[in-house]
Structure 1
């Protein structure tokens, strides 16, 4: 399937308990699409903006979705020219967050009570995609997180699809202007 070759997310978080993937075809060179990934603002994705605003996050119209907002949710990880990647780690409940950088926690922590999160925005083989993975370090944490995941999944999916459409429109408009 197009867009399925190995991404940096596969190396950092190869296993997961929860996963969400959204794809949209964008027939533009990867460099142009990734430029749009970094430049697209909330004003260009009104549905995503409205849904994220429900969480009281700063979704000012001029803020860039990926570069300004999504990157605040974790640590941006260097990836290939076709992928924007960030990872996060949290310890819901009564477990203290382990020592180390977010990247160190995601790649090496085995302590119970931790949720490891990775999300990318990627363009490969003419397909723009976003993938989110969540891995709990123990069964209790996985069970505690599952209801939240199923509750937010619909809104999250609508947000991601709106974001991808906005990025696609920007990339295609750039091509038409050039």
Structure 2
């Protein structure tokens, strides 16, 4: 798997999968085309996550004009015939995500900002007879300070993140089956 080459070491990982009786190429294409903004629950979860930044901005008289978080915040890192990997770097526990620019895979490997993390998200279609679409999220903390800051945030958002991934996989399955 490409993800093992890109981020073989990690401190946190979340994995979800679903069987989809469709050709692997179609499954991966639907996963890459998926738009989470079409799901009201996901939009609501993102709005709730962004609420502190918006409130702080209003209190300071500087409204936040930030585009809501979605898959376009991830940088495509690598793609194979049955998998794709996306990434981002920064301090995600911050009110405005603390995301740093990430132009490409080389930048991910070179990224070394103290107190920050590397995150990769992986879509992988496995199996020919009963294909499964799996999504993995891995996070590597660059130092102890980052791990101390990320750990409570991870355990706070992990249940919602898991629900988002499950809803995303279900929507991709429906799209593949034309329902």
Q: TM-score, normalised by structure 2?
A: 0.74
In structure 1, list runs of 5 or more residues that go unmatched: 1-6, 60-68
What does residue 134 of structure 2 align with? 129
Counterpart secondary structure, 2:169: helix
Distance 1:99 1:164, change over 3 A: closer
Q: Paired residue for 1:172, among 168, 174, 177?
A: 177
Structure 1 residues 82 and 53: CA distance shift in structure 2, 3 A: farther
1:28–1:18 CA distance, 2 compared to 1 (3 A)? same
RMSD: 2.8
Distance in 2, Cα, partners of 1:19 & 1:81: 23
1:81-136 Cα offsets, whole Å, 9 max, x none, are 2123211111468xx99997453342234453220110012212111111101101
Paired with 2:27 and 2:156, the residues of 1 have a C-alpha distance of 31
Q: How far 1:35 sits from its partner (Å)?
A: 2.2
- Offset of residue 40 of structure 1: 3.2
Quick one: distance in 1 between partners of 2:99 and 2:157?
A: 23
Alignment length, in residue pairs?
156
| Alignment pair present for 1:8 and 2:13 | no
Matches within 5 A, 1:2-151: 7-42=1-36, 45-56=39-50, 58=68, 69-70=70-71, 72-91=72-91, 101=103, 103-110=105-112, 112-125=114-127, 126-151=131-156
Structure 1 runs of 4+ off > 6 angstroms? Answer: 96-100
Runs of 5+ consecutive residues of structure 2 not aligned to the other structure: 51-66
